[in-house]
């Protein structure tokens, strides 16, 4: 697979709410917190969901306390469940399918998330042996998206997640070590491993953090202003309220729209091409 094809697959994972029956606003539970002003159990529509499945406070979600809604990204799982798995039947017109639809949605979300990570890995210049193994997993995941609801509900996703996680780690290590080899001085990859590190609120302004491994790291409210984060791996990292204003994330790896939506940034933050600048960053 060439880089262009991998990028097209990644870009195809864009949510299209006009083709979805408001699944994120219905299937998922909401817990009152700094991100939401209300509680809502899973499987019940949000009070703001309108009959055409649009949100009546869409233009002012943050102002109304629904910050969590501006962070969420289903990676296109909503429209696939609505239009492919359930063939355009809505839970409002067919209440008997509602429960099944709401349980399938988070499963499809996880499949789409894995497809997003693999397609990103395939967009890098990596050894053929590694890309061949990633391609096998990609095809398997794409086939899963076409299963019917009954088949999706009994899937053992760990069977896919574990080998995929290993392949993504291998990709990350290859890319980060390739960069370290080009940097001046004797760079020791061990010093770049901050997997699952607790860096909550850490002051890192202006630091060179290239090729760092931040897999699963807690970077909540960290000061990352004007940092260089190229080729840093962010898979599973918690970036809530981390300040990436002016930071260079242009080639950061496995960064998601949700992570960026949950962080603070500005017009000077440089983002990877597949990530959109959140509208709430405009100052």
| Contacting residues toward ligand SF4, per CB under 6 A | 25, 46, 48-49, 55, 57, 66, 69
3-state secondary structure 123-160: CCCCCHHHHHHHHHHHHHHHHHCCCCHHHHHCCCCHHH
The owner of tokens 């996880």 is 110
CB 26 within 8 A of CB 102: yes
Min separation Cβ 260 and ligand SF4, Å: 18
CB of residue 283 to ligand SF4, shortest distance in Å = 24
Asked if residue 26 lies in contact with residue 89, where contact means CB atoms within 8 angstroms, the answer is no
* Min dist. Cβ of residue 49 to ligand SF4 (A): 4
- Residue nearer to ligand SF4 on the CB measure, 47 or 181: 47
Which CB, 55 or 197, lies closer to ligand SF4?
Answer: 55
- Whole-angstrom CA distances from 15 to 11, 92, 200, 224, 282 are 10, 21, 30, 28, 22
Tell me phi and psi for residue 111, to 5 degrees.
-65, -45
Judged by beta carbon, residue 25 or residue 118, the one nearer ligand SF4 is 25
Toward ligand SF4, which CB reaches closer, 49 or 84?
A: 49
Least separation in angstroms between CB 2 and ligand SF4: 37
């Amino acid at each position: 697979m060439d880089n262009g094809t991998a990028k097209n697959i990644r870009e195809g994972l864009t949510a299209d709410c006009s083709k979805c029956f408001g699944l994120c606003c219905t299937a998922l539970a909401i817990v009152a917190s700094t991100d939401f002003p209300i509680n809502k159990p899973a499987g019940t529509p949000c009070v703001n969901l309108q009959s055409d499945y649009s949100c009546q406070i869409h233009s002012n979600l943050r102002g109304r306390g629904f910050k969590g809604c501006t962070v969420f990204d289903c990676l296109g799982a909503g429209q696939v469940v609505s239009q492919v798995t359930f063939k355009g039947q809505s839970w409002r017109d067919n209440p008997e399918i509602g429960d099944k639809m709401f349980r399938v949605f988070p499963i499809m979300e996880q499949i789409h998330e894995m497809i997003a990570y693999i397609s990103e890995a395939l967009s890098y210049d990596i050894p053929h042996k590694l890309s061949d193994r990633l391609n096998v997993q990609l095809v398997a995941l794409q086939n899963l998206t076409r299963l019917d609801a009954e088949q999706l509900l009994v899937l053992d996703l760990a069977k896919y997640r574990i080998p995929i996680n290993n392949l993504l780690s291998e990709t990350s290590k290859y890319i980060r070590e390739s960069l370290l080899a080009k940097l001046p001085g004797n760079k020791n990859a061990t010093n770049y491993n901050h997997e699952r590190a607790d860096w909550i609120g850490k002051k890192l302004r202006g630091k060179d953090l290239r090729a760092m491994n931040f897999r699963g790291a807690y970077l909540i409210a960290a000061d990352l202003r004007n940092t260089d984060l190229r080729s840093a791996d962010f898979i599973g990292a918690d970036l809530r309220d981390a300040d990436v204003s002016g930071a260079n994330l242009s080639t950061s790896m496995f960064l998601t729209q949700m992570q960026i939506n949950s962080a603070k940034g500005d017009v000077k933050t440089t983002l990877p091409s597949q990530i959109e600048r959140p509208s709430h960053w405009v100052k």
